[in-house]
Amino acid sequence: MNVQALAGVAQTQPTVTASAFSNGQLESGDFLTLMIQSLVNQDPLDPVKNEELLAQVSQIKNMETLAKLDQTLGKMTFEQQLATAGSLIGCSVKGISTAGENAEGVVVKVAASNAKGVTLVTDLGQEIPVDKVTQIEEVPFVW
C-alpha cells in the first residue's frame, strides 16, 4: 500500500507550558493533557491499543487517589500531634528546641502553625516541636 502525505495538513507538536511544571509536581490534569496530546499526534498506522489507554487512565486515577490519601494522612498526623501536645500541658519535657538547642521546662502552651508544625511552649519561653521531645515527666501537684 502506498501512503502519501495529505497536502495542507500540518503535523502538530504537543505543547506543554512551563507553568504546568513550575512547582516541580505534576497533577492529574497535566497527565491528562499529555495523554490527549499523544493521542492527537499518534501514528495513524500504529494507534494506541485500548488496553494501553485504559491502563494510562487507571494510573492517573490511582495517582489522584494516592494524592488524596497523602493529604488525609497528613491532616490526621497533624491532629494527632495536636492532641498529644495538648495532653502534655503541665508536664515537664526535655527535647531539642526549634533553634536546635537542648531545651527543657514545664509546658504552658501549645502552638500550631504551617511553618513550624505543632510545638510545645515551656514556662521559660522555649519552643520544642512535638516530634523532638526526648523526655516527658509528670510534675507533682502541690496543694
Q: Express each pLDDT in 111-132 by its tens digit.
A: 998 888 899 999 999 999 999 9
User: For 70, which DSSP code?
Assistant: H
**Of 87, 68, 90, nearest to 130 (Cα)?**
87
Parallel/antiparallel/unpaired status of strands 133-138 and 102-113: unpaired
**Percent above pLDDT 90 for the chain:** 44
Domain 88-138 has CATH 2.30.30: yes
pLDDT bucket at 97, cuts 50 / 70 / 90: very high
User: Phi/psi at 83 (nearest 5 deg)?
Assistant: -65, -45
**Of 125, 130, 78, nearest to 106 (Cα)?**
125
Residue 20's pLDDT is 47
d(CA 59, CA 52): 11
3-state secondary structure of 63: helix
User: Phi/psi at 47 (nearest 5 deg)?
Assistant: -70, 160
Q: Which residue has the cell 506543554?
A: 16
Residue 135's pLDDT is 95
Mean residue pLDDT of the chain comes to 80
Query: On the CB side of 59, how many CA atoms lie within 13 Å of its CA?
Result: 9
d(CA 100, CA 132): 10
pLDDT bucket at 71, cuts 50 / 70 / 90: very high
What are the boundaries of each domain within the chain? Answer: 26-41+48-87, 88-138
